[in-house]
Structure 1
């Protein structure tokens, strides 16, 4: 079977580099025979638009994308539809795997059906977090981290070296963050294990730590302009100058930097968390064959991985993808070693306990 490859003319002429041509006649005849559709729940720009258009044109499979902006909401929606979900592929962060797996919402990934599985960097595809109960549960596509993003015309790099600046009177009404994500960061800032793995045997302490973080964010609520949900939303607030700094995923921030907006990113000295996004197949999904056709196509080449980075701003997990990035794009997806030393990765072992406490706390902060 031939590889699917990127259309190199589009690679050179499309600024966003989101074009991907599927050019394998034998493969495409099989795909055309399938027909039908594939339903995907994912974040904005995780399926580059030109890739989607060409995939549909060359395979005959209609791609229905429903945008999501929160892992908890996605879990609740999928759980409500079980055991017969409307979705085929969803985007689950690696540290949320266990919640979905334990609730019997995901199907193990059959990597034998993915001839392009080897295009993923084994740092991601063969890592401990990606294998649970001896099975693979998702195809790693993009990695990222929680950062402090700031408008460099107003905020200095020195100020952006600490999360305290986000909660300072100086920038009252000019900040924004995602509450659920900030809960983990605030716990880390307070000297606790934001993953809560350390407290698996002591749920009372875990609950008390979440309560402490909750009260902190309630106390600081008068300072924040807005709690937001999506990357596109925080981008628009920066562009409109509604805010000058905020917690952000690195992807949306990198996209603004690549567009020439005066934005900087830091991993503050108190620390932050990294994560990996994966494409997963829902248990009992309605179009499993088309789901595997789509996954194999989007894993086909480093050019497609680079296109996803260019569209989303997150770091590609594909081997060789960085070779297709400009110097500015490479810069917007890298950090100084001293900041990277502040980074931890989200872990899943304590998620049931953690989010059992965190999710109600988030609602309490919003209501306060």
Structure 2
């Protein structure tokens, strides 16, 4: 399946919500040093007979049966093969997904990083026995053992895919390809009033990434682990940017229009936005700047008290197969988690090249979104880090 406008656009509306707070980091963090306490819950030891159904909360584009788009159907084959009927509810936000998982009515969730830590710490999801998921072995190493889904040496998620927040630019207005985020942050920028910034408290991490490179004395080693002084520095930088930015966006369709038309000359965005803008005839390119970037990843997680654990495990393995993971990633617009999803066809190879699917050197520069919590995820124990509530308050202050 090639990337077409029809398929990603169906998912873009949810992408704008999905990506409002996902999780991870540019280098694997030792989850045992984060200080995050989690319930000690058992994991499955075997897979038994199918219960007949599995109830899944997922982002649009992850669990498709052909009803949205006849070319997107990987549910029907699963149901026929396993005798597990798939009952899907499309999630609108991570907050909604957390609440739905806590209702006890769902077996699986495609959790973003902001939801995953809450679900793990709350005892809402169980650790996963990856030995029962043969396809887990083909997941790229860069998505295993991350702080947003692995704690105390236990895996709580089966990776689905990932993406970077890139610097997009319109070549009609930006003659030379940029290699830095500086034009979005510095007061002497040539693009004042013509840039776009993502509208979410998690965007504070983007400022932190830039500060890691430009103000190393602040001591920031993880953009999601900011103490009060470090957060204040990020807020100050964001206030400077507020006077320069042309528009904030959280609607991916609006971002496509702005960067494609040249209303915005450059800004932060996603590769799928670049692809769609190019498909519309826009002269748009993207780059991962030298300072690094933030990014996002999603994982399958199983309810601690799942009523249909056998079907749930069967789905996680099935959806992680090369063929199905390729379909999900191309439908949604992200790099697949299964390295073998890049093989089998020219379309698969082209998609993976576009999204740098197996390029770990690329993703080593990307700090996957992680919800900030008081226990510093950079391993510090001598300070208290700022949490997402504090970031939300700061974001309101930044935008005035």
Query: Normalised by the size of structure 1, how large is the TM-score?
Result: 0.71
Q: Report what 2:269 is aligned to.
A: 248
The offset of 1:165, in angstroms, is: 2.0
Give RMSD over aligned pairs.
3.9
1:81: Cα distance to partner? 5.1
Which residue pairs with 1:363 in the alignment?
396
The answer on 1:303 being equivalent to 2:323 is yes
What aligned pairs does 1:330-345 form with structure 2 within 5 A after superposition? 330-334=352-356, 340=362, 343-345=365-367
**Equivalent position to 2:58, from 28, 36, 41:** 41
The 2-side partners of 1:332 and 1:129 are apart by 25
CA distance in 1, matches of 2:96, 2:366: 29
* 1:178 to partner: Cα distance: 3.4
- TM superposition shift of 1:253: 3.2
Cα drift, residue 279 of structure 1: 1.6
- Contact 2:169 2:284 (8 Å CA) reproduced: yes
Shift of 1:316: 1.3
Q: Which residue of 2 aligns with 1:203?
A: none
- The 1:40–1:259 alpha-carbon spacing in structure 2 relative to 1, beyond 3 Å, is farther
- Closer, same or farther: CA 342–62 of 1 in aligned 2, 3 Å: closer
Cα shift at 1:180: 2.8
Q: Give CA-to-partner distance per residue, 1:211-251, whole Å, 9 cap, x none.
A: 23223323432443443335455334434654332212334
Q: CA contact under 8 A between 2:235 and 2:398: conserved in structure 1? A: yes
Equivalent position SS for 2:339 = coil
Which runs of no fewer than 5 residues in structure 1 stay unpaired? 1-10, 19-29, 200-205
Q: Distance in 2 between matches of 1:99 and 1:198?
A: 16
- Counterparts of 1:322 and 1:230, CA distance in 2: 29
What is residue 267 of structure 1 aligned with on the other side? 288
Corresponding position of 2:130: 111
Contact (CA 8 Å) 2:169, 2:267: kept in 1 or not? yes
Q: Which moved more, 1:356-365 or 1:51-60?
A: 51-60
Alpha-carbon distance change, 279 to 306 in structure 1, aligned in 2, over 3 angstroms: same
Distance 2:221 2:200 in 1: 14
Counting matched residue pairs gives: 328
Shift of 1:15: 9.9
Taking structure 2 as the reference length, the TM-score comes to 0.66
Shift of residue 150, structure 1, vs aligned partner = 1.8
CA-CA distance at 1:125 after TM superposition:
3.5
The structure carrying a bigger helix percent of its residues is 1
- Distance in 1 between residues matched to 2:221 and 2:148, nearest whole Å: 17
Give 1:315's aligned residue. 335
Alignment of 1:152-163 (within 5 A): 152-158=171-177, 160-163=178-181
Is there any run of 5+ residues in structure 2 with no aligned partner, and where? 9-48, 378-384
Secondary structure (helix, strand or coil) at the match of 2:73 reads helix
Q: How does 1:169-318 map to 2 (within 5 A)?
A: 170-190=191-211, 191=215, 192=218, 193=220, 195=222, 206-239=227-260, 241-254=262-275, 256-257=277-278, 261-285=282-306, 287-300=308-321, 302-318=322-338
* 1:166 and 2:193 aligned: no
Q: 1:197 to 1:244 in 2, by over 3 A?
A: closer
Alignment correspondent of 1:24:
none
Alpha-carbon shift at residue 284 of structure 1 (Å): 3.4
* Distance (Å, rounded) in 1 between the aligned partners of 2:355 and 2:108: 26
In 2, the alpha carbon distance for the partners of 1:361 and 1:248 equals 22
